[in-house]
Amino acid sequence: MERNKNKTTITTIGIDHTTNRKIDKLCKRYNLKKGEIVKLAFEYMDKACINPSEPPESVKTELAKINKRQDDLIRFIRHFEEKELNPMIRASHSIAVRFDGIVKALEELIKSEITLMWNKHSTILQTISNKIGEHAGVINTQTNQLSALNQIQKRDNKKLMDLIVLYAELSACGMMDGKRKEALKVEIHKLINPG
């Protein structure tokens, strides 16, 4: 039974002499057998959807139809390009130009704000520096004054100590030490009234 499935049945068909000559020419031209050329012709007609009862009028007519289809497609593409693509491209370009302008404006604004803030901060820092310098000058002046006062205080403390010593010696002098008393009084007077 399987042998019957694999076997190809060969049939014959009746054709006129003119068609037979045409088939012979095609067989010679393409180096095919009659059965092969008929089989390939039918496959070609089937794939190309050619109805053999309605053969094309002429090659020129078929080419004209193809050219018309191409022209229709080209017209459609141009129309689509003109009505759809070009406006989209112009809109995209316009958006890109506006975006670029906005970005540049923002960049300039940010730069000016940074410069303004830098100048404000520099002014504030300069003011702080000047104030600190003034305070440092005042502190240095006061330090010098305190140092001078400290020197005066030390000198006055020394005088006071000398006066205490002289008064102690004066009080320790007895009645008989008149000269010594006078000398101590002169030294005390010198210490109290220099100059």
pTM: 0.37
> Among the three residues 38, 55, 72, which one is the final residue of a domain in this structure?
55
- Is 60 within the bounds of a domain? no
> Among the three residues 55, 77, 99, which one is the final residue of a domain in this structure?
55
pLDDT at residue 174 in the model: 67
42-57 pLDDT, tens digit each: 898 888 777 878 766 7
Domain that holds residue 179: 160-192
- Is 4 within the bounds of a domain? yes
- Is 38 within the bounds of a domain? yes
pLDDT at residue 172 in the model: 75
> Among the three residues 15, 35, 55, which one is the final residue of a domain in this structure?
55
How many domains would you assign to the chain? Answer: 2
pLDDT at residue 104 in the model: 93
pLDDT at residue 176 in the model: 65
- Is 171 within the bounds of a domain? yes
- Is 116 within the bounds of a domain? no
- Spell out, as residue ranges, where the chain has pLDDT lower than 50: 1
Alpha-carbon gap, residue 172 to 11, rounded angstroms = 172
pLDDT at residue 62 in the model: 76
- Is 154 within the bounds of a domain? no
Alpha-carbon gap, residue 173 to 180, rounded angstroms = 8
- Is 80 within the bounds of a domain? no
- Is 179 within the bounds of a domain? yes
CATH number at residue 34: 1.10.1220
